[in-house]
Amino acid sequence: MTAVPPPTSETSPQVSTVHGAVRGTLEQGVAVFRGIPYAAAPVGTRRFRAPEPPEPWEGVREAVAFGPTAPKRPYSPPLDRLLPDPDVPGDNCLNLNVWTPSPARTGLPVLVWIHGGSLLHGSSAVPVYDGAAFARDGVVLVSVNYRLGIEGFGVFPDAPANRGLLDQLAALAWVRDNISAFGGDPDLVTVCGESAGAISIAALLAAPRAKGLFRRAVLQSGAPTALRLDAAARRTTELIAKRLGVAATAGALAAVDPAQLLAAQTEVTSGGSPLTGGNSFQIVVDGDLLPRDPFEALLDGAANDVDLLMGTNSEEYRLWFVPSGLTERLSGIKLRLALLKFKVPGATARTYRANRPGATPGELLGALATDLLLRVPLNRVADARAGASGSTHLYEFGWPSPVLRLGACHALEIAFVFDTLDRPDAVALAGEDAPQELADAMHAAWVRFAASGDPGWPAWDTSRPVMGFGPGAPAVVSAPRDEELRGWAPYRRNT
């Protein structure tokens, strides 16, 4: 029998963190550490509480496999085929992963990835989030798990709100205290997220307790938003408790079997989407972590010293509207009712219709909703940062996926940012022939931004430059679709 050589620093890199030593793997020249706990398991007396530090360990902890994911269910059909969502069982879901060129390096820029998923789905184990390309290009990539659904964002009278956001804050504190041991610079941290991850980051930008934990931020397809701590914020929690026949308190729900709680959560929150609404979980203005609405705070100058990269996809809505058939099923009458409900100015609706000849009512509603919920508020934040010490850059992703006529839909840009177009989940959304040159350009822009705050195109000013990542070579456009944007001027974002 051939003897197996003992692990060495060349094959199994080892790092000492403040809680104990961890041993990772070397994969194609990149040192990878998976499943490192940044907080204690949120079970038992810690359930529905703010995160607490993990117990220190003796010896060397193996960090070669993704850690447990937060309790969740897969996306409902048909999205489950487009957005694979790995489930790793276990209690220690508050863990993170690190990809680094080498722990022996020093002063490298750090990118911390916070996944999306409507605060109900997702994890750091999604294959398209592999950080090897960032490490290859000199950036330490950290990806984070946090509590989801009622565990992370249920609103109770006897537990702190925004627990999932507190988890993210704890992960960023871990990065501050430990990332230098992995070759990263704790003073050169960029926090980056998509969808609910971007919404979370917008809240962290407005949270005084997060100040100093990151220098730069990237918001992909997510705008600042939060609910007041009122009946609307408690609604989803109360509906789940009612379905289970218990009081809507952390104490009562902590006694419920986790599988039953997750089943009730799925029943209550199914059937909606970020654009069409429905029962959901949201970040709330709790008066503690979030003393005020993050959108208002950013308009008033919060985090003006943080470099900011923000953007949207041209057809965000198509991820939800096309697979469900809503683009064809929505009638003209329902479109008019939706325009009334959301107080869309008539002139604005006519402009969108004129610019999209042949569009169905569902496509018109989707375009309006995309801009109302994402593009307009991000532009307003950019305008409010005029003269800020932190830079502001905007982009728009417009390459259309041929899969199921999804177009430039929500989440499509992620594989381009991570340069992971060959992963099965990327192929499911983008197809097998997605342009590698576009991934090269987009990934390089994110690397440059993490390193310097300049992704490679002019910062936001009165000419309103937007980098377009679409078919053909990336190009800067001044004030794209400005006529449509001006039509929203009378509309207040948080009504």
Residues acting as catalytic residues: 195, 316, 410
H, E, C per residue of 371-408: HHHHHHHHHHHHHHCCCCCCCEEEEEECCCECHHHCEC
Cis peptide before 78 (omega within 30 of 0): yes
Q: Contact, 439 vs 152, CB < 8 A? A: no
Two structure tokens written together for 174: 């871990």
Cβ count near 262 (within 10 Å) = 19
From the list 428, 407, 237, 257, the residue with the least C-alpha distance to 322 is: 407
From the list 83, 88, 184, the residue with the least C-alpha distance to 128 is: 83
**Residues sharing a CB contact under 8 Å with residue 416, sequence separation 6 or more, in sequence order:** 397, 399, 434, 438, 439, 442, 443, 469
Q: What are the two backbone dihedrals, phi and then psi, of residue 133, each rounded to the nearest 5 degrees?
A: -65, -35
Q: What is the DSSP letter of 314?
A: T
Distance CA 282, CA 71 (A): 17
3-class DSSP assignment, residue 25: strand
Q: What are the two backbone dihedrals, phi and then psi, of residue 491, each rounded to the nearest 5 degrees?
A: -90, 125
Residue 267, sorted as left (phi over 0), alpha (psi -120 to 50) or beta, turns out to be alpha
From the list 115, 59, 125, the residue with the least C-alpha distance to 90 is: 125
3-class DSSP assignment, residue 160: coil
**Residues sharing a CB contact under 8 Å with residue 104, sequence separation 6 or more, in sequence order:** 183
Exposure of 344 in the CB half-sphere (CA atoms within 13 A)? 29
Q: How does 272-301 read in b/e, with b if 16+ C-beta sit within 10 Å?
A: ebbbbeebbbbbbbbeebbeebbbebbbee
From the list 366, 354, 357, the residue with the least C-alpha distance to 325 is: 366
Degrees to nearest 5, angle at CA 274 with 225 and 351: 85
Cβ count near 2 (within 10 Å) = 4
Amino acid at 120: L
